[in-house]
Amino acid sequence: MTTYTSPASQDLFTAINLRLSFMKAVALYKATHHQPIEDPLREEIVLNKAKAEAIEKGLNPEQLESFFKAQIAVAKAIQYRHRADWLSLPSSSLPRDLQNDIHPTLITLGSSITEHIADYIRENRALTSSDFDAFNQTITTKHVTDRDKQLLFMALVAIKNND
């Protein structure tokens, strides 16, 4: 069934999916360079940036941080699943550079996600469960499970306009 979605929430869901779609490339870089998937220092940078931008955009920083923590959890789960696949069938792709190529892109996408959330919340106060169908249809990245989608969506719905 196709459901009506406002352009603002559609743009937000598309940006979230795009961020998730980069995790295969992140996983490939780390697998090639024998690096662990979890990078706590990098997570700190991503979360601090999200909190600073939340304040700039008038969002609650703790609520936005919780959503970014959910995105990071799902990002790591996608990477583990790709890495498991490559144990039986190694990837033949060439890795993109993590520091100079993928990381700057992820930071830009994170800012764009925060901006879309702020735009949506300003107009509509909060997402509701009726937006889940559109979210579910838009998150098409491989290795994102139904549980992952629920985790992300619950964290999104918890972001409110407190004005």
Among 26, 113, 144, 152, binds ligand ISJ (CB under 6 A): 26
Taking the complex as a whole, how short is the minimal distance between the CB of residue 62 and ligand ISJ, in angstroms?
18
Taking the complex as a whole, how short is the minimal distance between the CB of residue 19 and ligand ISJ, in angstroms?
8
Nearest by Cα to 47 from 101, 98, 107: 107
Taking the complex as a whole, how short is the minimal distance between the CB of residue 128 and ligand ISJ, in angstroms?
26
- Is residue 44 close enough to count as binding ligand ISJ by CB under 6 A? no
Angstrom CA distances, 104 to 32, 44, 108, 111, stand at: 20, 15, 6, 11
Rounded-to-integer distance, Cα 120 and Cα 141, Å: 23
Q: Which is nearer to ligand ISJ, 62 or 123 (CB)?
A: 62
Site stretch for ligand ISJ (CB under 6 A), options 51-59, 71-79, 117-125, 147-155 = 71-79
Rounded-to-integer distance, Cα 82 and Cα 78, Å: 6
Nearest by Cα to 131 from 159, 105, 110: 159
Among 43, 85, 115, 119, binds ligand ISJ (CB under 6 A): 43
Rounded-to-integer distance, Cα 34 and Cα 68, Å: 26
Taking the complex as a whole, how short is the minimal distance between the CB of residue 3 and ligand ISJ, in angstroms?
28
Helix axes 23-32, 61-88, angle to 10 degrees: 60
Site stretch for ligand ISJ (CB under 6 A), options 41-49, 54-62, 116-124, 132-140 = 41-49
Nearest by Cα to 60 from 5, 121, 8, 6: 121
Q: Which residues bind ligand ISJ (CB under 6 A)?
A: 26, 38-39, 42-43, 46, 71-72, 75-76, 103, 106
